[in-house]
Amino acid sequence: MSMITERLAQEQPPGPDEARPRPGFRALFAGYLSLTKPQIVELILVTTIPAMMFAAGGWPDLGLMAVVLIGGGLAAGAASTFNCYIDRDIDQLMRRTKRRPLPSHTITPRAVLIFGTILTVVSLTLMATFTNWLATGLTAASIFYYDVIYTIWLKRRTPTNTFWGGICGAAPVLIAWAAVTGTVGPVAWALFAVVFFWQMPHFYPLAIKYKDDYARAGIPMLPVVRSARRVNTEILLFTVLTLVSSLAAWPLGAKDGMGPIYGITAIVSGAFFLLEALRLAGRSRRGEPLKAMRLFHWSITYLTILFIAVAVDALI
């Protein structure tokens, strides 16, 4: 933490005599939108809709779907907003994040807290009013876990932060299932495991690319504190666990209509996912340029394809 304090002392926000011009409406709108990290919300929607469809055995009530998508999206935005508030000290030390609204002084910390609180209240009110207490409780727990357990406690203390942070990243599957059925069944847990394990081969390539950024901010991401061999071993391990979880969902969901469309998709897309992880490990072993972002982008494609197959099987 001493390194962070020292850096911050060199990058203090402007004083009264150096006041920045007041940002316009477009800049403020873009700033508030970026606080919610829309790319994360998009990934949540990719898993939420198919999970609801399979839980319902087809199209769920469209009103319920709208509530879960809006409520879940706002909850994710709230968690991300609080994350930006908590991480504002390290964000200004990292090239990847120094243009976020707080490091760039586009929005004040107080305004960010108010915005995050409003998103939280609206999302939980929607979930409590139109779904059930299990789905609402899981939504509230996800916000708490992401901001308190992951961001405040784990992220700055342990290289296993990505692993434990994966719990809240996979929670939307359980929330979606609970909103439809009022319970969380075996297939929901299998799909939760898919998203949970998937997050390591998804995020570690990003951490490899921005390794110097994380090191500068004193964040012990795995690529910062462990060897390339260890990182690639974990990528391969969690890729395999992702595929095993995806295949486990097949027999668990067979009686509810999870058929060959899902199974074949899981096998084929999973094989390509594993192949890309092996390529990254091979390039690392041979000392070649890693091109880690290829695996990052393919991981998004893989998850999207797999959950589209869940949705298709639910309809057919």
Over residues 24-70, the pLDDT tens digits come to 778 888 889 999 988 877 788 889 999 999 999 899 999 999 999 99
Instruction: Assign a CATH topology to domain 185-316.
Output: Four Helix Bundle (Hemerythrin (Met), subunit A) (1.20.120)
Quick one: pLDDT at residue 20?
Answer: 58
Domain boundaries, the chain: 27-184, 185-316
Tell me how far CA of residue 49 lies from CA of 65, 113, 167, 243, 307, in angstroms. 7, 29, 19, 21, 9
Instruction: Assign a CATH topology to domain 27-184.
Output: Tetracycline Repressor; domain 2 (1.10.357)
Cβ(290)–Cβ(280) under 8 Å?
yes
CB-based contacts of 132, cutoff 8 Å, min separation 6: 178, 179, 182
Q: What pTM does this model have? A: 0.89
Quick one: pLDDT at residue 4?
Answer: 41
Q: How many CB atoms lie within 10 A of CB 154?
A: 19
Quick one: pLDDT at residue 172?
Answer: 95
Q: Tens digits of per-residue pLDDT, 107-131?
A: 999 999 999 999 999 999 999 999 9
Quick one: pLDDT at residue 16?
Answer: 42
Report the Cα–Cα distance between both ends of the chain, in Å, rounded. 55
Burial of 283 (0-12, 13-18, 19+ CB in 10 A): middle
Q: Which residues of the chain have pLDDT under 70?
A: 1-21
Q: d(Cα 241, Cα 71) in Å, to the nearest integer? A: 30
